[in-house]
Structure formats: C-alpha cells, structure tokens
Amino acid sequence: MTGCSNSSLAAEHRSKAFSSEVGTGSREENASKQSESSVLIYQNRSLGSITGRTATGGMAQPTFFEQPPSSTLADIAALTQARLVDASRGGQQVRGLASLDEAGPMHLTFFDNLKYAGQLASTKAGACLVNERFEASVPAHVAVLRAVHPFREFVKIARALHSDALRPQSWFGNAGIAPSAVIDPSAHLEDGVIVDPLAVIGPKVEIGAGTVIGSGAVIGANVRIGRDCNVGARSAIQFALLGNNVLIHPGCSIGQDGYGFVFFGPDGHLKVPQTGRVLIQNDVEIGAGTTIDRGSLRDTVIGEGTKIDNQVQIGHNVTIGRHCLLAAQIGLAGSLTIGDNVALGAKVGINNHLRIGDGAQVTAMSGVKDDIPAGGRWGGFFAKPTRQWFKEIVALERLVRDGTAGPKGEGRE
C-alpha cells in the first residue's frame, strides 16, 4: 500500500436529537407523515391494533436509518425494469417500502411467492411489484408495477432509497481517530480512515482510505487492510491481508492458529506450527462471529466477491473460490478446495482435503465426505447426488410404511 500517513485527527462527537413524536393515528395516516417523522409504525397482530414503536409513557425509539425522500411511481418505474401498468398513476407518491401485510397507501411492496397470496389479497399497499402471471390477483386499489423479477427490482429500489444501510459506518459518528484508540506509531493509515473508541492497531499495520475500524477491534502486527473496508466491533485480525471493500461484521476472529496437531504421540498431542496467512480478496463479506484460521504451510484464501454468513468456521489451508455463498453455521475442515460460484446451505459440514467443483450446491445440514464434481447438486448425511438421496428417502419411507423394515417385522408400530 502506498501513500499512507499517520492520522492524528481527534474525533468530533456529534449528537443528534431523536424525535419524541409518535404516530397515534391509523397506519394510513401515519404513512403519509413518514417524511416528517423518524418513527415508523407497526401492527400489533395479537391485538389487531396500530401503535407507534413507543410504549405509553416510554421513550421514543429511533428507526436508525434515514427516511428516504418521497418518489413517484413514474420515478420508480424509471429506476427499474418494471412497467407501470396504469400510466395515469405515474404521479402517485411513494414514501417508503414495506411487506405486504404491513404496507399502507404510501408504501411500495412486492409479491413473488404464492405462499403469501392471502396477504396480497388483503394488502393496503399503494403499489406492488409483481410478475405478469400474478397481476390479476392484485387488489384494484393497488397500482401494479409489472416486473419479470419483482424481488430483484424491489431490492434495486431499496438500495437506491436506503444506501446508508448497505455499509456500516462509525457507531459513534466519528470522522477520524477516536482519542481512546491505541495506534502504534509505526502503523500507516491513509487519509479518511475512521477508528472508533478502544480499537487497537498494532505495529506496521497499513489501512487504506475510507476504511472503518470498529470499537474494540484489534488489528495485529503487519496486517494489511485495503480501502473502503469495514472491520466490525470486537473483531480480531492477525496474519492477514485484506483487499478493498471487505466487510467484516462484529465479533469475527481472523488469522488465529489452525487446528493442527500430531495426535496421540508418546508426549500427547504435538502442536504443528501454523506459519501461513489469511488472504481475503476484494468485495468479500464476512458475517458476525465467523472464524477463519490461518494456514499451516499454505495460505487460507477467501476469493473475490464471496459472501459468508454468521458463525461460519473455516479451517486452515482452505481455499474458497470467487463469488461463493456460505450460509450460517457451516464448518469447513482444513485443506479444502472450493471452486467458484459454489453455494453451501446452513450447517453444512465438509471433511478435510476434499474438492468441491465450480458451481456445486450442497443442501443445508448435509455432511460431505467425498469430492463433489463441478455443477453437482448434493445433499443428505452423508451427502450424495440429490436425486439418489431423494430416491433413498422415498424407498426407506415405503419400507417403514409397509411394515417391512426388518425380517421379523421390526419397526412395526
């Protein structure tokens, strides 16, 4: 990293007054005032009533994110690939986004799942993104925005209206280095780095411009962190090199020893030195509480654009390709090689020294003990091709149902 310099900016503490006004009218009345109030409303389903997010006599509760300016349906259609079916409603105002069951006349919602057909029929929304095949099911009072992929277009709008929710900022409104942060004199921080209170940055660390280091985070010696990154509060990073636009959520541990021992020797379990690193490429996101061990002889690598959910364990020497998706509570044993564009469901466990081919998908809660070829669709415990797995499940269920689970009728009720 070049052009780095020590920053000694004192943090400017900025306070913002929270609105104490709470909507007390109907959802429809309050929705029309959202541009003037930071307090959202919600429906108390157990009581069937509409209330503000404040108990009687209690304190006002902020919504945390900026309320977007109002838009027209014509604006929204122009932003997306959706078509406003009734062009005469192009001037209709939209002041927020909501789910089908919570939307009011000033909200935009979407529908793309028949499971929620009942909510679509009763929605109070002002407008709805919907595929053409479900268009006839939309109530007459709801403006229709026709889209091939309604949810994708809804997300596009949400990203435009709520850009402040896409990337964490300083929890304390810091614009520079908090006075209580501890930064080694040999560390190099480019201009525009934000360091929150009680963070610790070690010797010879380099951090790129636009990066935010959260409160209580610890960055070990010689670590490199690129530009426009976020390191969440209480995260610990050592023996690691991070690219640009890496988002690490709170409570992650990156670069600690891998689980390497020579087991059951005459003197017990002999620890193997772990002298590799963790390499995290550009545009990676790592969920809260995830742990990534450094390599032993080779590096642990997380490929560009990969998105990792919360509480995932990645063992030493693992190589994960580009643009992979790892859901929560996955466990990856050491020395795995995972190709590009692989999707692993929640709680998948994969044994060590295996290869998972490009584009493979593994069903949630599967246990993988064999290599998976490129494009494979596997699931089960132990995992196998999904067609085979489903056939075995059906056959087993038939055996139990027919009372032929054992030679002497074992298994019959």
Domain ranges in the chain are: 23-166, 235-382
The fraction of the chain above a pLDDT of 90, given in percent, is 78
Which one has a higher pLDDT value, 26 or 260? 260
Using one digit for the tens of pLDDT, what is the confidence trace for 111-160?
A: 999 999 999 999 999 999 999 999 999 999 999 999 999 999 999 999 99
C-alpha–C-alpha distance, residues 153 and 130, integer Å: 10
Count how many Cα atoms sit within 13 Å of the Cα of residue 70 in the half-sphere of its side chain: 17
> Which of the 8 DSSP states describes residue 176?
S
Beta strands in 180-267 (DSSP E): 182-183, 188-189, 194-195, 200-201, 206-207, 212-213, 218-219, 224-225, 230-231, 236-237, 240-242, 247-248, 253-256, 261-265
The answer, yes or no, to whether residue 279 has pLDDT greater than 50, is yes
Instruction: Assess whether the region 23-166 and the region 235-382 belong to the same CATH fold.
Output: no
Using one digit for the tens of pLDDT, what is the confidence trace for 215-257?
A: 999 999 999 999 999 999 999 999 999 999 999 999 999 999 9
| Among 162, 316, 323, 353, the one annotated catalytic | 316
Identify the pLDDT of residue 409: 53
Class of domain 235-382: mainly beta
Using one digit for the tens of pLDDT, what is the confidence trace for 363-407?
A: 999 999 999 999 999 999 999 999 999 999 999 999 999 876 555
Q: Is 13 exposed, middle or buried (0-12, 13-18, 19+ CB in 10 A)?
A: exposed
C-alpha–C-alpha distance, residues 349 and 104, integer Å: 43
410 band by pLDDT with thresholds 50, 70 and 90: low
Question: Is the domain defined by 23-166 classed in CATH 3.40.1390.10?
Answer: yes
Catalytic residue list contains 316: yes
Identify the pLDDT of residue 247: 98
Identify the pLDDT of residue 404: 60
Mean pLDDT of the chain: 87
